[in-house]
């Protein structure tokens, strides 16, 4: 083999080596890219799981805080209520705040406190026949219960059950607030929608609401402000 042929052969060898190394590099980079993508995907998945866990922890912390706060409020007014019943009531109130965006625990607690004359007794009955924690008239209770999927039996059985009572009362109060704002909703809850509608339409003029309803709204607001400032 002459010198020229050796040079040509050497160039072929070098060229083959370069191509081979290039292919190896391409394969390596491809594998690395795939691994990197897989690794990034795993990291992204882990980050989402951590965020979900963090959100779950935050939601549960909020839930537990609200439940303990509601129990502490009940303890101020009804020291004889059984512990498990207080917890069930507090849980139901919190559930209603999650279900209805225009309600919060402080407003529901203020309403119950005033409606029960500061007793938080589930079996309380007003002189006009309103029943239970949120003082619901049987006719109203029967109507709202149907929307809640609660099978109506007897007024005492449904409205003296604090869980049913809160579910019915919260739905009713939320619907009134949605129609008439907070003040108007409270006026309607206490004195009926007709008067509340006239009152809102008049720009909340005096002399339209009954004296009891006129006093009812600021009484709820005072309790609401008190419970907002309440700290465990």
pTM above 0.75, yes or no: yes
Quick one: CA torsion of 72, 73, 74, 75, rounded to 10 degrees? 50
Share of the chain above pLDDT 70, in %: 75
Contacts (Cβ under 8 Å, ≥6 apart) of 71: 86, 87, 90
Mean pLDDT of 117-146: 97
Q: Which residue from 205, 212, 2, 58 is spatially nearest to 127, judged by alpha carbons?
A: 212
- pLDDT for residue 81 is more than 80: yes
Mean pLDDT of 117-145: 97
Bigger pLDDT: 32 vs 154: 154
- pLDDT for residue 49 is more than 70: no
CB 122 within 8 A of CB 130: no
- pLDDT for residue 128 is more than 80: yes
pLDDT (0 to 100) of residue 59: 72
CB 159 within 8 A of CB 153: no
pLDDT (0 to 100) of residue 60: 81
Q: Which residue from 203, 193, 183 is spatially nearest to 107, judged by alpha carbons?
A: 183
pLDDT (0 to 100) of residue 127: 95
pLDDT (0 to 100) of residue 146: 95
Q: Round the average pLDDT of the chain to a whole number and report it.
A: 87
Least confident window among 25-29, 112-116, 118-122, 176-180 = 25-29
pLDDT (0 to 100) of residue 4: 45
Bigger pLDDT: 137 vs 8: 137
Lookup: tokens for 225: 């402000």
Question: What confidence tens digit (pLDDT) does each residue in 202-230 have?
Answer: 999 999 999 999 999 999 999 999 999 98
Residue-by-residue DSSP string for 38-100:
HHHHHHHHHHHHHHHHHHHHHHHHHHHHHHHHHHHHHHHH-TTS-HHHHHHHHHHHHHHHHH-
CATH code of the domain occupying 5-229:
1.10.530.10
Share of the chain above pLDDT 90, in %: 72
- pLDDT for residue 157 is more than 90: yes
Residue-by-residue DSSP string for 111-140:
HHHHHTTT---TT-B-TT--BTTTTB-HHH
Mean pLDDT of 81-106: 97
Quick one: CA torsion of 106, 109, 158, 152, rounded to 10 degrees? -30
CB 169 within 8 A of CB 188: no
With tokens 């390596």, the residue in question is 28
CB 154 within 8 A of CB 145: no
């Amino acid at each position: 083999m002459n010198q020229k042929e050796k040079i040509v052969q050497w160039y072929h060898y070098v060229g083959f080596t370069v191509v081979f190394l290039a292919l190896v590099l391409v394969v390596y980079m491809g594998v690395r890219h795939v691994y990197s993508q897989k690794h990034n995907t795993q990291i992204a998945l882990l980050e989402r799981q951590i965020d979900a866990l963090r959100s779950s922890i935050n939601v549960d912390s909020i839930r537990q805080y609200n439940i303990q706060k509601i129990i502490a409020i009940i303890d101020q007014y009804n020291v004889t209520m059984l512990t498990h019943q207080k917890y069930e009531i507090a849980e139901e109130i919190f559930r209603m705040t999650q279900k209805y965006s225009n309600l919060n625990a402080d407003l529901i607690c203020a309403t119950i406190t005033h409606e029960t004359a500061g007793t938080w007794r589930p079996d309380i009955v007003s002189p006009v026949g309103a029943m239970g924690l949120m003082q619901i008239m049987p006719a109203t209770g029967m109507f709202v219960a149907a929307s809640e999927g609660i099978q109506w039996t007897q007024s005492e059985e449904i409205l003296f059950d604090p869980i049913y009572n809160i579910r019915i009362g919260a739905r009713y109060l939320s619907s009134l607030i949605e129609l008439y704002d907070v003040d108007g909703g409270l006026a309607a809850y206490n004195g009926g929608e007709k008067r509340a509608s006239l009152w809102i339409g008049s720009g909340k003029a005096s002399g339209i609401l009954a004296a009891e309803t006129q006093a009812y709204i600021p009484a709820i607001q005072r309790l609401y402000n008190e419970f907002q400032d309440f700290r465990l």
